[in-house]
Amino acid sequence: MIVKNADLNGVISDIFIKDGIITDIVAVDKRSNIVDSENVFDAENKKVVPSFFNTHTHSAMTLLRGYADDMPLNPWLSEKIWPAEAKLVPEDVYWGTKLACLEMIKTGTTFFNDMYWCIDSIIKAATEMNMRLAVSATFIDIGKDTDKLIKELDDTYERVSAIDNPNIIFTIAPHAIYTVSEKMLKYSGKFAKDHDLFIHTHLSETKKEYDDCLRDHGMKPAFYLDSFGLLTEKTMLAHSVWLDDDEIKLIADRGATVSHNPISNMKLSVGKAFDYRKMKNANVRVTLGTDGCSSNNNLNMAESMKFASILQKFAYNDPALMSAEECFKIASFNGAEAFGIKAGKIEKGYDADFLVLKSNIYDMTPGFNVYSDIVYSVGNNFVDSVFCKGKLIMEHGKIEGEDEIISHAKKISKKFIS
Ligand SMILES: [Zn+2]
């Protein structure tokens, strides 16, 4: 595959791709022969940038978009979200995940780190949509039969690890330290170590979580998590807002990654801004997540980038904090790197995960700086075409099955109000 006439930072170039990897980049004025075959995509001098890696979401919650808003976190979860989720069957999760994939691809995301139930439905949906996926065995076991859950985890691992798809990463996802028992946290830490797995969990979203952990376990949340072997180089910590300096140092020492979810944090009013400067100074890898559609309410990484950058500037009174280019790297390169994926740069040897941007759209005009335009200006209609691991998964805004996905999602959503 060759993507010709791509505008890479102002240099019109041809991008050569083989087996999903960029094998060469040649400026058009140094082009030796004009290639013309069915394996050529003409970028028509449009800007080409790396795609986004969404490191924390609950994809099928697209079905609950707009269902419950403007409520405090605990009653929001217990009175609205959890009862609605109890009505979901695997087929619903399949369509909800398809809707999430549709939205993510349209807004430039090629990878998502998901935490939800009905793992087979999620895998089927993401595979059909040609996306990369980190999919988790997700569990909450407070008030449930932990031994049964352990058996299910073992079975799920056997089943999913047998799937032959390099675009799927299996992770273990204890939901949070306050929803998973000590027994299950201990088992999870050992399981992740034995099988060398990525770990995905929520950590320190609220002050209540911090205070309760200290009261109940005599330890701060990050130290409590670490006591089960759950803080490793392969751990992704969603939120990570209420952490003190010792915890940030511990996370850095363990080489774990955090997923910053600015819109969710602000919408659910977690009471404090994520401390990017401290994380950065401690050399913690920071990535970006949208969180689910119940607390965001979309999966548009460009919008999350704007909130991330502007929240830092506002909260810490420093307009230079988290520049557009730095924010873009957090949303692309850092997210890929956290999962061991060589992407997030358009260079020889990197995976071919990139976006061809629309030209002649008002919110990227006049077009002085592509990072500034994407982080601060664009809406949700700035991506022309998307490549994921060298495969063209959206061509000129079109994705197969779009209408069917939307009509199924609408039909399913009726069950929440009946
Ligand atoms: Zn979440």
Residue 373: which CATH number? 2.30.40.10
Q: What is the pLDDT of residues 214-224, one digit of tens each?
A: 999 999 999 99
**174 CA distance to ligand 1 centroid (A)?**
12
Helix (H, G, I), strand (E, B) or coil at 172: strand
Per-residue pLDDT reduced to its tens digit, 30-83 = 887 666 666 999 999 999 999 999 999 999 999 999 999 999 888 888 899 989
Q: Evaluate whether residue 91 is within a structural domain.
A: yes
Distance in Å, CA 367 to ligand 1 centroid: 34
Q: Residues 126, 259: one domain?
A: yes
One domain, residues 34 and 68: no
Give the number of domains in the chain: 2
Q: What spacing in Å lies between the alpha carbon of 335 and ligand 1's midpoint? A: 16
CB 68 within 8 A of CB 80: yes
Question: What are the beta bridge partners of residue 173?
Answer: 138
Q: 74 and 195: one domain?
A: yes
Tell me whether residue 248 is in a domain.
yes
Q: What angle do CA 191, 194, 197 make, to 5 degrees?
A: 70
> For 335-350, how does the pLDDT look when each residue is reduced to its tens digit (9 = 90+)?
999 999 999 999 999 9
Q: What is the mean pLDDT of residues 15-19?
A: 96
Single residue among 290, 310, 338 that ends a domain in this structure: 338
404 Cβ partners below 8 Å, 6+ apart?
none
Range of 113's domain?
A: 52-338
Give distance in angstroms: CA of 239 to centre of ligand 1.
8
> What single DSSP character describes residue 19?
T
User: For residue 75, which phi and psi values (nearest 5 degrees)?
Assistant: -65, -30
Q: Which residues have CB less than 5 Å away from ligand 1 (the ion)?
A: 291
* 8 Å CB contact between 181 and 172: no
Q: What is the pLDDT of residue 73?
A: 80
* Last residue of one domain, picked from the residues 286, 318, 338: 338
256-292 pLDDT, tens digit each: 999 999 999 999 999 999 999 999 999 999 999 999 9
One domain for residues 215 and 317: yes
Residue 140 shares a structural domain with residue 186 = yes
* pLDDT at residue 37, rounded to an integer: 64
Of residues 241 and 415, more confidence is placed in 241
CA 154 to ligand 1 centroid distance, Å: 24
Q: Considering the domain boundaries, does residue 6 fall inside one?
A: yes
The answer on 291 and 158 residing in a single domain is yes
The enclosing domain of 334 has a CATH number of 3.20.20.140
pLDDT at 143: 83
Same domain, 118 and 8: no
Backbone angles phi, psi at 17, to 5 degrees: -125, 135
Distance 200 CA to ligand 1 centre (A): 10
Same-domain status, 166 and 312: yes
Q: In this predicted model, what pLDDT tens digit does every residue of 140-158 receive, in sequence order?
A: 998 889 999 999 999 999 9
Select from 110, 120, 118, 190 the least CA-distant residue to 162: 120
* Length in residues, the chain: 418
Check residue 283 and give its pLDDT.
98
What strands lie across the sheet with 48-50, from one edge to the other? 48-50, 354-357, 383-388, 391-394
Report CA(143)–ligand 1 centroid distance (Å).
20
pLDDT at residue 72, rounded to an integer: 84
Report residue 365's pLDDT band, with 50, 70 and 90 as the boundaries.
very high
CA 259 – ligand 1 centroid, Å: 10
What is the rounded average pLDDT for all residues in the chain?
96
Angle at the Cα of 341 from the Cα atoms of 339 and 343, rounded to 5 degrees: 130
26 and 92 fall within a common domain: no
Average pLDDT over residues 15-39: 86
Residues 221 and 350 in one domain: no
Give, rounded to a whole angstrom, the gap between the first and last alpha carbons of the chain: 50
Measured in Å, residue 201 CA sits from the centre of ligand 1 at: 8
